[in-house]
Chains A and B, each alone.
Chain A
Amino acid sequence: MADVALAREIDANIAQGARPHVRLRRRRMMSMTAAVLLAPALVLMALLLIGPVLAVLLMSFTDYQLGAPTWSLVGLENYIELYGDRVFWTSLTNTLLYVAIVVPSSIALGLGLALLIESGSTLRAFYRSIFFIPVMATLIAMAISWEYMLHPQFGLINLMLKEIGLPAQAWLSDPVLALPTIAAIGIWQLFGFNMVLFLAGIVSIPSHLYEAAVMDGARSAWSRFWLVTWPMLGPVTVFVAVISAIRSFQVFDTVHVLTKGGPSKATEVLLYSMYSEGFEFFRSGLAAAIAVVFLCFVLLLTIIKARLIEKKVHYS
């Protein structure tokens, strides 16, 4: 509004044949004000977001090694090396597999719990807090307690399995079990967050829609869920799915603490590869290339989210 008014004033000045240099001064002042107001945000964005991303992108085209005095441009060599590297492909597959396990499970679990909590009449706040604890806990610390629980001989989980007569498992050292185990911890860490988002979504569904559904003959909770709840949660679900996917792509802490990518690369994931290339083998250029691949996935997800939320799942 303010700038519309200002523009009008300027037009009025023109109409009255105001002297041109007055007009110019005003215009310059206006853009100065805009620049001053924008500056803090622009500087912060450049410093914290765009700068580092550009630096990583640039670094991925060099042979820079952490601590090395010199570096030179090598073009796409890092990417070519990644393309031919079996470990990179394992790491990418593992990451995608991890995302494919964690995202649907944490959504289903979060939604299921939200529905249960919302349909119950007592202790809602209690359940909400209990299930939200894993989200707030520091994952590194939690990973260590998981390590105790998953210990092959003395871990709580194997002791319990033995108690009910099932064979103990080497959760973290069996190549078949290791990634699903890490994924289970990922689900445990994420579902409380999704649950809270779903709870907010469920609360905002107008109750008269359920009443209409009941009058229309939706006898079972199941049919009311598909007629009202699920479609009305569409926008929330897309949001939750994308956030969960991005967070799952970032899996690192648990791998770092529990398996170090092993056994035999069974839990090697993108960010862990990047970490070991960059900070164990000091090949910063290659690590930067992995980071760029990672960023591409996150960008892709963000675009999908923007598209979906704009188009399909908006009803108004």
Chain B
Amino acid sequence: MAQFQLSGVRKSFDRTHVLKGIDLHIAEGEFISLVGPSGCGKSTLLRIIAGLEDQSEGSVRIGGDVVDGVRPADRNLAMVFQSYALYPHLTVYNNIAVPLRMRRLSTLQRAAVLRWLIPGTRETEDRIRSDVEDVAKLLGLKDLLQRKPAQLSGGQRQRVAVGRAIVREPRAFLLDEPLSNLDAKLRVHMRTEIAQLHRRLGATFIYVTHDQAEAMTMSDRIAVMMDGNIIQIGSPDDVYDDPQDLRVAEFIGSPKINILDGGVIDEARGLVFGSSRFAATFLERPGTSVRIGVRPEALRLANAENAPFSGRLAHKENLGAEVLLHVEIPDQRAAVIVRFDHGGAREISIGDAVGLTCSPEDLRIFGASGERIKAEVEARKVAHG
């Protein structure tokens, strides 16, 4: 187990800057997710931590030691690859045993023919066997130990890859989109399993994913990456409730946050949208035009005549446990989505005029370049907190 400290990590391939200065502290035993759209540099960052790639600038410390230039095998980290990277010629048993054999047996003891003649080989192999069997039992792989990877389903291969990582005691686990090759149902199931595994092992997990739902459901903290920068880092609730950037707000949460153009800050620092005014005090110059973000579950129905947001119902998605209304508001780029619990909004049908409102504290206001504009209440909270 170990903590990680990344300082000013940059990476360029030829002339493209993939990582543009990453500072990140990861605590011991923490489950942290690096989440962001594909191509934003998540895998590259993970590979730099693993030592599979060298950073162009900056440094990585693991457990207090600078590991720059330390080879991957000597960093004692375990990695689960997106493609699983199982050895196709080895059985499940041997795949899981590889990390133990590499560390516990000498080169001669691994040689094919004469290995059994060297003292200690048999005892070590016996210990390896019991360790591999423990892991197989934990992951439900006991009946598959003699199969080759080609004879396994995607989910089983994924388990073998996890087994190969947890069979020894590495300082941390690095997982690069381990669930993205599974079908939707299995993916949801494996989220729980991996989270439970983390609790059971108590080890540091660094988890890369482009799926915000995975990050939200499993992590202690989420680092949201865009274009080679970490633009926000915090607990799932933090990142969801208090996005520091429009891109974070739009990336985290499903259905996506509603973004409405056309808000203006007035003389009294309130927010004006059309003919309505929200009475919160925003810390921004009067006259600034802003974009208004509001989560689908924060919106409530109101009288269409005088509601701040009004439009027509274009579509209704009934998902069983929840109902999503798509309300088209004039002059807005996308339909506003409103979320109701099961049975909500029964009386509204397609084409009806719909009025929507929300409390001022549920508004997330963003400036022209996507930066968050704070409300005074929040600012005070921050100042006291």
Contact = CB atoms under 8 A, between A and B. Distances in A.
A315 B73 contact: no
Residue of B71, B99, B102, B107 contacting most chain A CB atoms (<10 Å): B102
B89 A232 contact: yes
Q: Which bracket fits the contact residues of B?
A: 20 to 34
Interface residues of A, number: 23
Interface stretch (A99-107, A125-133, A159-167, A207-215): A207-215
Interface string A220-236: 10110011100110100
B81 A218 contact: no
Nearest to B150: A316
Contact of A209 (B71, B85, B110): B85
Contacts of A315: 88-89, 148, 150
B381 interface: no
A209 B87 contact: yes
Interface in B77-91: 77-79, 81, 83, 85-90
Given A218-B73, A315-B148, A212 B107 contact: no
Contacts of A231: 87, 89-90
Contacts of A227: 87, 98, 102
B74 interface: yes
Interface in B327-367: none
A68 B156 CA distance: 72
Interface in B86-119: 86-90, 98-99, 102-103, 107, 110
Given A214-B72, A215-B78, A316-B150, A223 B107 contact: yes
Contacts of B77: 215
Given A206-B83, A211-B81, A222-B107, A216 B88 contact: no
B74 A219 contact: yes
A214 B89 contact: no
B103 A215 contact: no
B50 interface: yes
B295 interface: no
B188 interface: no
Given A219-B71, A226-B110, A315-B150, A211 B102 contact: no
Residue of A212, A218, A232 contacting most chain B CB atoms (<10 Å): A212
A212 B81 contact: yes
A216 B100 CA distance: 8
Contacts of A218: 73, 102
A67 interface: no
A217 interface: yes
A231 B149 CA distance: 14
B164 interface: yes
A215 B73 contact: yes
Interface string B61-72: 000000000011
Interface string B45-62: 000001010000000000
Nearest to B98: A216
A212 B85 contact: yes
B307 to A, nearest CB: 54
Contacts of A226: 110
B23 to A, nearest CB: 25
B102 A223 contact: yes
A216 B110 CA distance: 14
Contacts of A215: 50, 52, 72-73, 77-79
Interface in A297-316: 315-316
The 7 A-B pairs with the shortest beta carbon distances in the complex, nearest first, are A217-B102, A212-B85, A315-B88, A231-B89, A208-B85, A216-B99, A214-B72
24 contacts: A208-B85, A211-B72, A211-B79, A212-B85, A212-B86, A212-B87, A213-B98, A214-B52, A214-B71, A214-B72, A216-B98, A216-B99, A216-B102, A216-B164, A217-B99, A219-B102, A220-B107, A223-B102, A223-B110, A227-B98, A227-B102, A231-B90, A234-B89, A315-B150
Interface of A: 206, 208-209, 211-220, 222-223, 226-228, 231-232, 234, 315-316
